[in-house]
Amino acid sequence: MEQTERIKHMEQCLNRATAALEELSAAMDKYAEAQDSIRELESYLSSKEWKEDFEDDEAGRLPKDLRRGVLSEDGIWNVLEKHKALKAQIQKMAKDSLNG
């Protein structure tokens, strides 16, 4: 590769890496801030309160305009599964970076 082409290519690599790292850093900050919410959702899904809330929803005892994605089972479960997969991905990346 010619010198100027190499420098242009490396400049593109630098710009791409810089943007990705800035975006990842911001996302990691948000993810860290969400940990308490994730733990609360995990606890709620396995609680007596969730079962009661679900039953009341099924019986039509909740206000019609109340948002209730947390009662869908899949809503919380999907978030918890995504969280588990993301933790595994982060751990693998950390391990790979130590070995690479």
27 touches 68 (CB < 8 A): no
The whole domain housing 14 covers: 1-33
Whether residue 97 sits in one domain with residue 77: yes
Mean pLDDT of the chain: 94
Whether residue 42 sits in one domain with residue 27: no
58: alpha, beta or left? (left if phi > 0; alpha if psi -120 to 50)? alpha
Whether residue 41 sits in one domain with residue 15: no
Quick check: 1 pLDDT over 90?
Answer: no
Q: What is the pLDDT of residues 41-88, one digit of tens each?
A: 999 999 999 999 999 999 999 999 999 999 987 989 999 999 999 999
Whether residue 24 sits in one domain with residue 44: no
Distance (Å, rounded) from C-alpha 91 to C-alpha 85?
10
pTM surpassing 0.85? no
Whether residue 26 sits in one domain with residue 51: no
CA atoms within 13 A on the CB side of 89: 7
The domain tally of the chain equals: 2
Whether residue 45 sits in one domain with residue 71: yes
